[in-house]
Amino acid sequence: MAYEFDNAAVRVASTGQVFYLEDDLGLIYPTVKAQLEEPATAIDSITTAQFNQLGLLSEDAVEHEFADETEDILSWQKGIVRTLITSRTAAFTLAALETNRAALELFYGSIMSTPAAGIGRIGVQSNVARKKMITVLEFQDGTLADGTTPKIYRLIMPSSQVTELESPAFTSASAVTWGVTIAALGSSHDLLTLITNDPVVVGTTPPETP
């Protein structure tokens, strides 16, 4: 048997972006689901919902956690006879390099108001739960055969929430970064959806109804 290798299948997340949109009641996601799952539709072109863009991220980019929680079934005679998946977790960990409105609102969990012209204010309460949101990580690597359409990988968390923060350092020696972990939450939708137009992955099979 000959081993098969395909150098063309090696992917590098050469550029990308993280988008999020508050959707605490889960009413927005059904209205944008089809557009999010169409790689040809740029997320910032969706007119029915205005997604926030985090902009530049630190050089560590985005760490994608995906894990199974398992439970072993033990027998008297043969030890472990089966392993059950009791739950799954998914999360993105990143640090926003731009100190912009989207990054600050995400980090502090509050919306910025403008009490006066040229003034922004974020009030942080001590006992207010963070809102649920739609989070999308998109990265690109090269183009399709037409030479212009980018190969896109889009990871969508239909319901998610900021669960951890990384304390920023305010010094003159380095840029201020706003580190967060965004975890997927269980809902009536997928925990996580991956969309791609990469022909190496998709192949040439006809459309299939999920």
CATH number of the domain to which 139 belongs:
2.30.110
Q: Is residue 209 part of a domain?
A: no
Q: Is residue 53 part of a domain?
A: yes
What pLDDT, on the 0 to 100 scale, is given for residue 112?
95
Is pLDDT above 70 for 207?
no
What pLDDT, on the 0 to 100 scale, is given for residue 94?
97
Q: Is residue 56 part of a domain?
A: yes
Q: Is residue 4 part of a domain?
A: no
Confidence of residue 204 (pLDDT cuts 50, 70, 90): low
Q: What is the tally of structural domains in the chain?
A: 1
Q: Is residue 107 part of a domain?
A: yes
Any long-range contacts for 128-133 (C-beta under 8 Å, 24+ apart)? 130/161, 130/162, 131/22, 131/24, 131/161, 132/22, 132/23, 132/24, 132/26, 132/159, 132/160, 132/161, 132/185, 133/20, 133/21, 133/22, 133/23, 133/24, 133/159, 133/160, 133/161
Q: Is residue 162 part of a domain?
A: yes
Confidence of residue 206 (pLDDT cuts 50, 70, 90): low
Q: Is residue 167 part of a domain?
A: yes
Confidence of residue 208 (pLDDT cuts 50, 70, 90): low
Question: Tens digit of pLDDT for each residue in 53-104?
Answer: 999 999 999 999 999 988 999 998 888 989 998 899 999 999 999 999 999 9
Q: Is residue 120 part of a domain?
A: no
Q: Structural domain of residue 56, as residue ranges? A: 15-74+86-113+129-202
